[in-house]
Chains A and B, each alone.
Chain A
């Protein structure tokens, strides 16, 4: 299992479009992906789950990934969340 913290840089936070991109990225993976903001958790493959976390630009997320390709997915997700443009 991989776990890391990341500060979300995406302009405007994780609204529909970046959330959709994040889901695209996680859905290609076999691993179980969980995003947590404070006490709230969301399935990384659920766009609604991610959106309802209410992640703003500058928020810190904890990402947990458990599965065969966890390391690759971790890198991809981290990269995505750290990008500043929402127009990824």
Chain B
């Protein structure tokens, strides 16, 4: 049995689709008619590019690590010169009318199989060299972008890793689960899986890909992290039973979805959902949430080589604003950098990307781009109830500069006679401890706060949330994090504004009473988990929650907090 990190709850039972980028591309392109001459040209260009890349890499490696390490790259270059390798690919294109990428992957697969069948351990490992070179060729062919086509039937995706864009490209009607060898609970792919309600287990280890074949039946338990390949009849029956139980639970939550998020003593809070792509909005409206607490606008910008212009952004924001009508939609301005890359901006590689050039820091450095987004947001505000939220603010001057640019965008639109919401609310993310400590000063200059616990934990505890080695240290139940949250909410209320929370913590039912007791006004998490949160809110009184929060703030360790909350949850 395999085990990974449980990152998105739920049980799924379906056949495996084992994704390597090669096979994905083959499936995607082999159905289109083929121009042989063109495909040969594509192949030879890709080979030439690969040769240049490898030569350069080899020189760098020789310089930095010595010639022994560089020797493997010589072998890779030699593969490119090998008549049995590239020659065979050309032959396949000519004789079997394959597209270049399909020819690459077919020849690669033959050699991979050949090497893997060899007894010698060293030779077995050479399969990896073939994979490496062929993947490079395919990357060159596809210009760095991978086009993936998926089967038209239920499957569980098994892959080394999944990027946020790949997660977004998954066909939601067919994908039943995601399992990866690498990655962890707080990667963006994991967050997306949760927001899309897809059970997922990540970080299952490097042996995953060897142990799971395409087509074999897989059970994944996104709650425990368990993975069972080709289960026996008894195991299968047990999990089918468990899955049915889960379904019943979901139906119960469904039944309460239209009831308000109100405590037994009449205190009303707001339940919202986080959203990444405009296409999700239609599904979210029917899920019973009261609006969007976090719309991640960066997904309009990612996985493309050009930036979306004002018209395109306007169309996307308008779609969401109009879809939600009078329900609020909080749109966060561009938040890239860190683990979210933006090819169109050619951001530099950084030693400490999470402490680097990201989010609002980029927007303020590139006001011409930021103004385009602000204008698009303002224009869309005429079609619904939009709120604007600025990410990653640490200094008051940044907030003032962002607001100044917003005023500039407003002035432009007024001059052009374009309608927008003159009273559009402006808020900021509270995700940097320094800003939280200064919440009273910020509260005077915004309409609302939204606490981003994912980054707040990372910055407060100095724990890289992508690093599996220190994952144990990462917890929003750390007393320091809880004190910062309490402080932010307190400062907002004293200034007469409200505070929401749009991190993972908002969707964790164990944290619900605590957050309620700390005075949180709005909860925004993955739509799939919010009914559970609502049930927690509806089954407690504000008085009880306040007492619980007061006690939790006296505790000293994560463990004490978690044990206490678990005790109270019974």
Residues of A participating in the B interface, judged by any CB pair closer than 8 Å: 12-13, 15-17, 19-20, 23, 27, 43, 45-49, 51-52, 54, 56
A49 to B85 Cα, complex, angstroms: 9
Residue of B nearest to A16 (CB): B75
Which of A23, A47, A48 gathers the greatest number of chain B CB atoms within 10 Å?
A48
Q: If the complex has contacts A47-B79, A48-B85, A56-B120, are A17 and B111 also in contact, measured as CB distance less than 8 A?
A: no
The reply to whether A47 and B78 contact each other, CB–CB distance below 8 Å, is yes
Residue of A nearest to B129 (CB): A16
**Can you give 11 A-B contacts (C-beta < 8 A)?**
A12-B122, A16-B72, A20-B75, A23-B78, A23-B81, A23-B82, A43-B83, A46-B85, A48-B82, A49-B82, A52-B115
A51 to B129 Cα, complex, angstroms: 12
Q: What are the residues of chain B within 8 A of A12 when measuring CB–CB?
A: 122
The reply to whether A16 and B84 contact each other, CB–CB distance below 8 Å, is no
The reply to whether A51 and B126 contact each other, CB–CB distance below 8 Å, is yes
Partner of A17, one of B71, B81, B82, B119: B71
The reply to whether A49 and B84 contact each other, CB–CB distance below 8 Å, is yes
The reply to whether A54 and B126 contact each other, CB–CB distance below 8 Å, is no
Q: What are the residues of chain A within 8 A of B129 when measuring CB–CB?
A: 16
Minimal beta-carbon separation of A15 from chain B (angstroms): 6
Q: If the complex has contacts A12-B122, A51-B123, A54-B123, are A46 and B82 also in contact, measured as CB distance less than 8 A?
A: yes
Q: Does B118 contact A (CB under 8 A)?
A: yes
A15 to B130 Cα, complex, angstroms: 14
A45 to B78 Cα, complex, angstroms: 10
The reply to whether B78 and A13 contact each other, CB–CB distance below 8 Å, is no
The reply to whether B120 and A16 contact each other, CB–CB distance below 8 Å, is no
The reply to whether B85 and A15 contact each other, CB–CB distance below 8 Å, is no
Q: Does B569 contact A (CB under 8 A)?
A: no
The reply to whether B120 and A54 contact each other, CB–CB distance below 8 Å, is yes
Minimal beta-carbon separation of B276 from chain A (angstroms): 43
Q: If the complex has contacts A27-B81, A47-B79, A52-B111, are A13 and B126 also in contact, measured as CB distance less than 8 A?
A: no
Minimal beta-carbon separation of B175 from chain A (angstroms): 36
Q: What are the residues of chain B within 8 A of A51 when measuring CB–CB?
A: 115, 123, 126
Q: Does B114 contact A (CB under 8 A)?
A: yes
> From residue 100 to 133 of chain B, which have CB atoms closer than 8 A to chain A?
111, 114-115, 118-120, 122-123, 126, 129-130
Residue of B nearest to A87 (CB): B68
The reply to whether B119 and A48 contact each other, CB–CB distance below 8 Å, is no
Minimal beta-carbon separation of A30 from chain B (angstroms): 14
A13 to B118 Cα, complex, angstroms: 14
The reply to whether A16 and B83 contact each other, CB–CB distance below 8 Å, is no
Q: What are the residues of chain A within 8 A of B85 when measuring CB–CB?
A: 46, 48
Partner of B82, one of A47, A54, A56: A47
Q: Does B186 contact A (CB under 8 A)?
A: no
Minimal beta-carbon separation of A28 from chain B (angstroms): 12
Q: If the complex has contacts A16-B71, A46-B85, are A54 and B79 also in contact, measured as CB distance less than 8 A?
A: no
Q: What are the residues of chain B within 8 A of A17 when measuring CB–CB?
A: 71, 74-75
A51 to B81 Cα, complex, angstroms: 14
Residue of B nearest to A27 (CB): B81
A45 to B81 Cα, complex, angstroms: 9
Which of A15, A20, A27, A51 gathers the greatest number of chain B CB atoms within 10 Å?
A51
A54 to B126 Cα, complex, angstroms: 11
Q: What are the residues of chain A within 8 A of B71 when measuring CB–CB?
A: 16-17, 20
Partner of A20, one of B74, B114, B122, B123: B74
Partner of A46, one of B74, B83, B114, B115: B83
A17 to B70 Cα, complex, angstroms: 10
The reply to whether B84 and A46 contact each other, CB–CB distance below 8 Å, is yes
Which of A15, A16, A23, A43 gathers the greatest number of chain B CB atoms within 10 Å?
A16
Residue of B nearest to A42 (CB): B84
Which of B71, B123, B126 gathers the greatest number of chain A CB atoms within 10 Å?
B123
The reply to whether A48 and B111 contact each other, CB–CB distance below 8 Å, is yes
A11 to B120 Cα, complex, angstroms: 14
Residue of A nearest to B80 (CB): A47
Q: What are the residues of chain B within 8 A of A19 when measuring CB–CB?
A: 75, 78
> From residue 284 to 301 of chain B, which have CB atoms closer than 8 A to chain A?
none
A47 to B133 Cα, complex, angstroms: 14
A52 to B75 Cα, complex, angstroms: 14
The reply to whether B122 and A43 contact each other, CB–CB distance below 8 Å, is no
A23 to B80 Cα, complex, angstroms: 12
Q: What are the residues of chain B within 8 A of A16 when measuring CB–CB?
A: 71-72, 75, 78, 126, 129
Residue of B nearest to A46 (CB): B84
The reply to whether B120 and A47 contact each other, CB–CB distance below 8 Å, is no
A72 to B178 Cα, complex, angstroms: 58
Q: What are the residues of chain A within 8 A of B114 when measuring CB–CB?
A: 52
Residue of B nearest to A56 (CB): B120
A15 to B71 Cα, complex, angstroms: 11
The reply to whether B84 and A15 contact each other, CB–CB distance below 8 Å, is no
A20 to B76 Cα, complex, angstroms: 10
A23 to B123 Cα, complex, angstroms: 17
The reply to whether B118 and A54 contact each other, CB–CB distance below 8 Å, is yes
